[in-house]
């Protein structure tokens, strides 16, 4: 019986494990899901490549505007190479919409770095959707990379932070604020998390670290987005490898997860059926064994003495428990 209990507990554990897997797989993704995060990071890698291609004869402190392919039409990208020491001691008076103060440091330390500027334009809601909010301005990005090799691709992003005054972003392309709405600064870090803060005068937002930024308001109803987001046109050259590859990998990952869940459920049911059959077989085996032991005990019991009665033999007891007495012996 102890073995049967262990098998029942094992079946329950397997069933609970499969149930948790199914519940986790069916839970709705959050606004900053892994798929959106991976697509945004793949876009950053592509724009870094296009920004570096703008450096023909690079000069320090000069802004170079890059060119994106036709299937990303509407996105603007620029690059500016700086010395880390100059960035820390002087800052940058104005880089597009960004004003970088003194005291900005990059980690890990590099002698030179490149600040890549992004303006996602009508692709803002595609890569950075926030349920319940609509953008009044395009998403603007500022990311730092190592400038040691201006032909490198897929470079890791440096961690730059302002230690004294914050970095200012002055939004010039701003749509009118809907009546009754309060504009907020939306900041996206490199982990995909979004935070909101108050908008300063002259449509200025501040930050102490790099990332992507915009001004947004809460949408009262699921009205159409403030920008028109047409599907990417079919360009003559093949689409950039980074984005399509990330989408294909994500789709393949989702399909593999579905197959893993289906296989786990089917395997769990098969395991439960096998364990049930084993339990039934064990119960029958123990019952047959007990009956066999009882039969052997009956056969090996104490033999009765035999005596001859006429022409046949019959068992006879060796003695009696109570000796017979005459009734007359009790008469006084």
In the CATH hierarchy, which fold is given to the domain comprising 32-230? Chondroitinase Ac; Chain A, domain 3 (2.60.220)
- In this prediction the pTM is 0.58
- Other beta carbons within 10 angstroms of residue 165's beta carbon come to 15
Task: Give Cβ neighbours of residue 32 (< 8 Å, ≥ 6 apart).
Answer: 192, 193, 194
Report the C-alpha gap between 211 and 221 in whole angstroms: 28
Question: For each of the chain's 332 residues, which pLDDT tens digit applies?
Answer: 555 566 566 666 666 666 666 555 444 444 445 666 788 999 999 999 999 999 988 899 999 999 999 999 999 999 999 999 999 999 999 999 999 999 999 889 999 999 999 999 999 999 999 999 999 999 999 999 999 999 999 999 999 999 889 999 999 888 888 888 899 999 999 888 899 999 998 899 999 999 999 999 998 644 444 444 444 444 444 444 444 554 555 566 666 666 777 777 777 777 778 877 888 888 888 888 888 887 777 666 555 667 777 777 777 666 555 666 666 655 55
Instruction: Show me where the domains of the chain are located.
Output: 1-30+240-293, 32-230
pLDDT score for 34 = 61
Secondary structure of residue 88 in the 3-state scheme: helix
How far, CA to CA in Å, does 174 sit from each of 14, 136, 166, 183? 56, 5, 22, 11
């Amino acid at each position: 019986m102890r073995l049967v209990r262990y098998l029942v507990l094992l079946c329950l554990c397997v069933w609970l494990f499969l149930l948790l897997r199914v519940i986790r797989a069916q839970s709705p993704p959050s606004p900053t899901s892994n798929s959106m995060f991976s697509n945004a990071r793949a876009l950053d890698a592509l724009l870094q490549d296009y920004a570096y291609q703008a450096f023909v004869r690079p000069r320090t402190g000069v802004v170079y505007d890059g060119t994106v392919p036709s299937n990303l039409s509407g996105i603007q990208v620029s690059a500016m190479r700086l010395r880390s020491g100059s960035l820390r001691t002087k800052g940058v008076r104005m880089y597009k919409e960004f004003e970088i103060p003194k005291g900005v440091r990059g980690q890990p330390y590099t002698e030179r770095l490149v600040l890549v500027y992004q303006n996602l334009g009508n692709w803002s809601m595609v890569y950075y959707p926030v349920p319940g909010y609509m953008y009044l301005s395009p998403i603007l990005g500022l990311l730092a990379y190592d400038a040691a090799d201006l032909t490198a691709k897929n470079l890791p992003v440096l961690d730059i932070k302002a230690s004294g005054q914050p970095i200012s972003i002055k939004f010039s392309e701003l749509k009118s604020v809907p009546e009754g709405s309060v504009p907020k600064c939306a900041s996206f870090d490199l982990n995909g998390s979004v935070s909101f803060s108050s908008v300063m005068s002259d449509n200025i937002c501040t930050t102490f670290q790099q990332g992507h930024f915009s001004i947004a308001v809460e949408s009262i109803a699921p009205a159409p987005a403030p920008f028109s987001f047409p599907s990417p046109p079919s360009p003559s050259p093949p689409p950039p490898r980074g984005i399509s590859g990330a989408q294909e990998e994500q789709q393949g990952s989702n399909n593999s997860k579905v197959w893993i869940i289906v296989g786990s459920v089917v395997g769990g049911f098969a395991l439960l059926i096998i364990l049930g059959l084993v339990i039934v077989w064990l119960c029958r085996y123990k019952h047959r064994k007990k009956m066999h032991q009882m039969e052997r005990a009956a056969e090996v019991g104490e033999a009765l003495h035999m005596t001859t009665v006429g022409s046949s033999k019959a068992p006879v007891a060796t003695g009696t428990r109570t000796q017979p007495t005459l009734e007359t012996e009790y008469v006084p």
